[in-house]
Amino acid sequence: MEIQAPKGTKDILPQDAYKWQYVEGILREVSKAFGVREIRTPIFEHTELFLRGVGETTDIVQKEMYTFKDKGDRSITLKPEGTAPSVRAFIENRLFNEAQPTKLYYIIPCFRYENVQKGRLRQFHQYGIEMFGSKEPSMDAEVISLAMEALKRLGLKSLSLNINNLGCPKCRPKYNEALKSYLQENYDDLCDVCKTRFEKNPMRILDCKEKSCNKITKNAPIILDYICDECNDHFTEVKKYLDALNIKYKIDPGIVRGLDYYTKTIFEILNEDFTVCGGGRYDKLIEEIGGPEMPAVGFGMGLERLIMTLEQEGIEIPNEGYIDLYIGSRGDKAKMEAFILAKKLRELGIKTEINHMGRSVKAEMKYANKIGALYTTILGDDELENNTLKLKRMSDGEQFEASLNNIESIKNVLK
């Protein structure tokens, strides 16, 4: 029986890989422009990290994590998101002792057992930013600015930014009581999962995907009516910084995000009606996982969804081409010389391919065209005797001569 990829996973084939390389390249460039450095964490972590970091009442922990026991009977989880592992690494490697802020980015695979749909897989890839050490509203605005810059540089134009403030541990209990009071009347109509959330974390009910719960929470109290002066002042300053950068935004009290660790600022960036980025501030997470009291803010961006959005918008992703020069050959001596010439050209950074299949010259040209070679040449007895190559530009058929003994002359034609 043919073995197929597990449900919810997808092969990225060579003809599509260039899209990923291009998008990842832009994201890395923008990260560097903001002084953000890359971090790479293990693909799996101790399950406790996500219980404490992501939150026991979230959909991720309750329904979606890939958790298993290893041979040492330890509970291990494939990482469902990138923030908690980055915080764990920040604490374990004592990066909090270095000059702050610490600015990190990652491009990682993540794993969630959820319903498979277009743009949503069980193994997906995430670009994330985490900035530790600053409680200043300017840092919130910088994180948002970085996300907007990355999306705009990729060519997305129909972007909208929605922001909200989730309060802090000082003001959220008051809101939770108001929310529980509102939900109490319809408690019996809540889904079973939300009934468990009612006492532990009623705000998580606002993020439920069940239609029955959505109907109940439609007119729920708004947290912005309950935030304390400190949170309100912080939110006001964030908006001032966004105004200074001419970043337009809409205040959306309905945003709560799907993770328990958020405090104060949260945001979502949409292209049309499709969310392509989400994040916010999480000032208590580092302390919750065992580190010092230290503020933080960041975001996550799903790459499958992002690439799908670029394609839907008709944004052409540049393809540099697979091969610069295809060298065909006639005869054993010419084949060996082509093999040696290809090595020299590759050392100069010229993408070169030769005949490994014993094809005829006609078949070689068909193959060169199929792989998108920009130039082709045929090496035979005459070329070896005269030390010359005729390079054919495939786009228009124009031919150029170069010296077989002068690699730079060949390189100059191919520029």
Q: What letter represents residue 68's amino acid?
A: F
Residue 138's pLDDT is what? 98
Residue 230's pLDDT is what? 96
Q: What is the DSSP letter of 202?
A: G
d(CA 45, CA 32): 27
Residue 405 buriedness (CB in 10 A; 0-12 / 13-18 / 19+): exposed
* Closest alpha carbon to 175 in 205, 142, 213, 137: 205
Structure tokens at 354: 């030769």
β-sheet bridge partners, residue 132: 102, 296
279 in Cβ contact with 81 (< 8 Å): no
- Cβ-Cβ contacts under 8 Å for 263 (sequence gap 6 or more): 166, 167, 168, 169, 280, 281, 282, 283, 284
d(CA 310, CA 155): 8
Taking 3-state DSSP, the helix, strand and coil percentages for the chain, each rounded to the nearest 5, stand at 40, 20, 35
Q: Residue 9, annotated ligand binder?
A: no
Q: Residue 237, annotated ligand binder?
A: no
Residue 260's pLDDT is what? 65
Residue 54 buriedness (CB in 10 A; 0-12 / 13-18 / 19+): buried
Residue 62's pLDDT is what? 76
* Closest alpha carbon to 280 in 312, 250, 303, 257: 257
Helix (H) / strand (E) element for 275: namely: strand 274-281
Residue 114's pLDDT is what? 84
Q: Residue 127, annotated ligand binder?
A: no
Q: Residue 112, annotated ligand binder?
A: yes
Q: Residue 4, annotated ligand binder?
A: no
d(CA 354, CA 193): 60
Q: Residue 175, annotated ligand binder?
A: no
Handedness of CA 134, 138, 142, 144 (dihedral sign): positive
Q: What is the C-alpha R_g of the chain?
A: 28
Q: Domains in the chain, please, with CATH? A: 14-171+227-312 (3.30.930.10), 325-414 (3.40.50.800)
Q: Residue 81, annotated ligand binder?
A: yes
Mean pLDDT score of the chain: 92
Q: Please tell me the pTM assigned to this model.
A: 0.89
The pLDDT tens digits along the chain (415 residues) read: 899 999 999 999 998 999 999 999 999 999 999 999 999 999 999 999 998 878 766 767 877 999 999 999 999 999 999 999 999 999 999 999 999 999 999 999 999 998 887 778 999 999 999 999 999 999 999 999 999 999 999 999 999 999 999 999 898 889 888 888 888 888 888 898 888 888 878 887 887 878 888 888 888 898 899 999 999 999 999 999 999 999 999 999 888 765 667 899 999 999 988 899 999 999 999 999 999 999 999 999 999 999 999 999 999 999 877 899 999 999 999 999 999 999 999 999 999 999 999 899 899 999 999 999 999 999 999 999 999 999 999 999 999 999 998 999 999 998 7
Q: Where are the alpha helices (DSSP H) in 123-165?
A: 137-153
Residue 396 buriedness (CB in 10 A; 0-12 / 13-18 / 19+): exposed
139 in Cβ contact with 131 (< 8 Å): yes
What Cα–Cα distance (Å) separates residue 160 from each residue in 120, 257, 267, 380? 21, 17, 10, 60
> Residue 361, Cα to own-chain centre: how many angstroms?
44
Q: The tokens 């990260």 sit on which residue?
A: 31
